[in-house]
Amino acid sequence: MKTLIRGGTVVTAVDHYRGDVLIDGERIAQVGTDLSWIQVDKSIDASGKYVIPGGVDVHTHLDMPFGGTTSADDFQSGTIAAAFGGTTTIVDFAVQDRGGTLRQAWETWMGKAEGKAAIDYGFHMVMRESTEALRKEMGELVKEGVTSFKLFMAYPGVLYLDDASIFRILQRSGELGATICMHAENGPVIDVIAEQAFAQGNTAPKYHAITRPARLEAEATNRAIALAEVAGVPVYIVHLSAAEALEEVAAARHRGIPAFAETCPQYLFLSYENYEEPGFDGAKYVMSPPLRAKEKQESLWRGLRLNDLQVVSTDHCPFCMKEQKELGKGDFRKIPNGAPGIETRMSLLHDGGVVAGRISLHRWVELASTAPAKIFGLFPRKGTIAPGSDADLVVFDPKAEAVLSAKTHHMKVDYNPYEGRRVRGVSDTVLSRGEVVVEKGKFVGKPGRGQYLRRATR
Ligand code: URP
Ligand code: ZN
Ligand code: ZN
């Protein structure tokens, strides 16, 4: 099956030009200024539109038990929503059970995705313990293509690991060429502050943010980088929200330390004020780390421009207001942490980044697709438009507008954090490994067609 995407503006992390993209089977066969002479089975007119590599979202939580419930999107609804938004690859988090092995967790998450995922997927592994046996087993997981591990400095008693445990895993990651993703917040101190706030009768959602000060994200970020530096390995800080934490990453990078970090759209477009919305609505934005002061957002944009932040992922972890977020009515500590965003990332970043003049077109593609593919061992199969790469392509209409809303989104969650926001730039036609999966506003792929991605080490 040969498909030609004709007459669009091909945009990658490094260049853009008016061009045609020829797909043969699942791969890109040729890119050229005029390939219209080639006989094809299907032709897609991209005139007036961009042709970009499919988005790579390296931080999602589908079908994940958390906070006494399970994230609302499974691998079917979540990956279909991703495709609608122009994302064609995700890297989700498998979670090791206490006392369980890493393989058990990987197999559990492979089972969750199988038969359901509509786009390609890989896994990071969350390690909740740091025994010798588990550290040895990390090598087995790397052979299966799980080449990154997430560790938590937050959530004591649930996911938290102490510094010594973290340090040993960092050392092991160095032997394996694996990447450590760090949730950098000082969990034990946050728990003290949260307990004190609750004891004083402060139960509303906004106290989730008030009890997680930016300084404690910065402190943990500093410590994570210091531990990685002493262990002699790179570290990747996930969902960075505080400008103070970004200063730590930037300072380390300035010293030549391989510290990397991602931020997420919620930290670029939402802010502390959202927690002050009436009634229990602030719960929509309960996530960790929390939303920060609006005036700090420009620091994150600067970080994205200067490459102190390399990736924009979503941390998509949706919980419905009804019956899920509601678990924390009367106690902000019981509100399941997380928010939806797998579908809205590419358009938000285009609108608030490229259209608003904060980042270039190339930087947009780099942050949302190329850099995450490179950092997490998927490049050049994913993240670019080149002969031999998977034909994961998005025909993106930069002039089309959409209004983000729970009434129209495809995520299985009863609210949209950006409700009513108008965005310029919409994914029009989406191809995954050469197959059209979204066309004319409809999902036309098949759940279960997504393939597991074995990722490379550093
Ligand atoms: O609030 C969040 N971020 N929920 C998902 C779990 C995590 O820490 O990434
Ligand atoms: Zn986290
Ligand atoms: Zn997360």
DSSP string, 114-156: TTT-SSEEEEEEE-S---HHHHHHHHHHHHTT--EEEEESSST
pLDDT value, residue 235: 98
Residue 143 CA, ligand 1 centroid: distance in Å: 27
pLDDT value, residue 81: 99
pLDDT value, residue 320: 98
pLDDT value, residue 444: 98
Q: Where are the domains of the chain?
A: 2-52+391-410+423-443, 54-375
pLDDT value, residue 225: 99
Evaluate: CB of 345 within 6 angstroms of ligand 1. Answer: no
Check: CATH 1.20.1260.10 for 2-52+391-410+423-443? no
pLDDT value, residue 168: 98
CATH topology of domain 54-375: TIM Barrel (3.20.20)
Evaluate: CB of 337 within 6 angstroms of ligand 1. Answer: yes
Q: Is 270 left (phi over 0), alpha (psi -120 to 50) or beta?
A: beta
Q: Which atom of ligand 1 sits closest to the CA of residue 154?
A: 8
Residue 198 CA, ligand 2 centroid: distance in Å: 23
Q: What is the residue with the minimal CA distance to atom 1 of ligand 1?
A: 287
Pocket test for ligand 1, best of 183, 315, 335 (most atoms within 8 A of CB): 315
| Residues of the chain falling short of pLDDT 50 | none
| CA gap 171, 27 in Å, rounded | 37
pLDDT value, residue 45: 98
Q: Which atom of ligand 1 sits closest to the CA of residue 59?
A: 9
